Structure 1
């Protein structure tokens, strides 16, 4: 079960990308008091965790209701994750997140107050985005038995706990490390995600041909 847990943890950590979300959160919440920043971080991580758990538990039933075979979802999810990996390696994903964050900030500049960004855009779509939802559904669908499913849920819980810690420490971390370290980490994670995505596609094609 440790192999299932480790594989799920790496996949979810890379897709959710806490190192990439932390500077976005720091920028969006700049100007808020530390107490309010902590509250927004808790709400963002909590809401994202609930969304991902719901898709983990009921995603396969949803696929069945839509008459979508699991192998087809594996292939589609792998392709999508590979595209996300390319964006991470070439930093397009970070730029897109920053542009989205800037639009949210600009839309509320007239208020002269820091907008609550816990639900949008932090919880959705930055933490519990399409990549995270697809990943958790794929991991649960591939988990052989109850113990493996619990291992995936445990990995998801740990990833979201790490994400929460990074959001809570986002502002001081950005002061210490700066954007260069975040850029290097994001690119390395992108390479790992690309390999995982290819494996998802291979598993889906193999399953379709065997069926």
Structure 2
């Protein structure tokens, strides 16, 4: 996977367009100037957490003695399930915040931006090619930057696209993610059989 493909994959998993309604709902009772500060703070917290997982993920997998092909197969399955949720979204949004309460770390930074799916994808990337951490860092930075722009201008995107437009865009992103997930799964299967045949 090249840097551009990794950036697209991470952007699709972050799903900023799908998260727009959640962010707007959480921040709607907060003063506009304070709202922008909170959003920037949560984005930076999420970026820090994402980089921590990118650079420590390999150590975790080594400790657990998990093979690369296993991570690829599991990652493909996880991404496929994420894509299905994007294509067929479920109603309901349990945020766990009181009215007017200011969010800190949860639920905006985690799990809306730095969610378990994004963290798993970063671990997968660092495991597959640990010698390309600069590429993965650039991919993460690009995906985060585009997501940040969309979220910082959430009102504009919501007005331009509307509810139906946002839903359509999220489903389109989900369909693209399905293809990436299947390719990742097939790569893992191929690596498994290659590894197994080499041991015989």
Q: Same fold (TM over 0.5)?
A: yes
Tell me if structure 2 keeps the 8 A contact 1:78–1:197: yes
Tell me if structure 2 keeps the 8 A contact 1:41–1:118: no
In 1, the alpha carbon distance for the partners of 2:70 and 2:184 equals 10
- Show the counterpart of 1:18: 16
In 1, the alpha carbon distance for the partners of 2:102 and 2:140 equals 25
Tell me if structure 2 keeps the 8 A contact 1:75–1:204: yes
Higher helix share: 1
Task: Give the number of aligned pairs.
Answer: 195
Q: Which of 67, 76, 94 is the aligned partner of 1:100?
A: 94
- Show the counterpart of 2:123: 137
Task: State the Cα RMSD in Å.
Answer: 1.6
Tell me if structure 1 keeps the 8 A contact 2:23–2:108: yes
**2:152 is equivalent to residue 174 of structure 1:** no
- Show the counterpart of 1:77: 75
In 1, the alpha carbon distance for the partners of 2:154 and 2:104 equals 14
- Show the counterpart of 2:198: none
- Show the counterpart of 2:33: 35
In 1, the alpha carbon distance for the partners of 2:157 and 2:174 equals 21
Tell me if structure 1 keeps the 8 A contact 2:58–2:130: no
Q: Which runs of 5+ in 1 are unaligned?
A: none
In 2, the alpha carbon distance for the partners of 1:5 and 1:23 equals 29
- Show the counterpart of 1:49: 47
Q: Which runs of 5+ in 2 are unaligned?
A: 196-200
Tell me if structure 2 keeps the 8 A contact 1:23–1:171: no
**2:150 is equivalent to residue 156 of structure 1:** no
In 1, the alpha carbon distance for the partners of 2:6 and 2:104 equals 25
In 2, the alpha carbon distance for the partners of 1:144 and 1:137 equals 10
1:152 Cα deviation after fit: 1.6
SS class of match (2:29): coil
- Show the counterpart of 1:116: 102
1:129 Cα deviation after fit: 1.0
Tell me if structure 2 keeps the 8 A contact 1:37–1:168: no
1:177 Cα deviation after fit: 2.4
Tell me if structure 1 keeps the 8 A contact 2:68–2:128: no
Tell me if structure 1 keeps the 8 A contact 2:80–2:182: yes
Alignment deviations for residues 61-92 of structure 1 (CA, whole Å, 9 cap, x no partner) = 10110111121111111101101101111123
SS class of match (2:106): helix
TM-score normalised by L of structure 1: 0.86
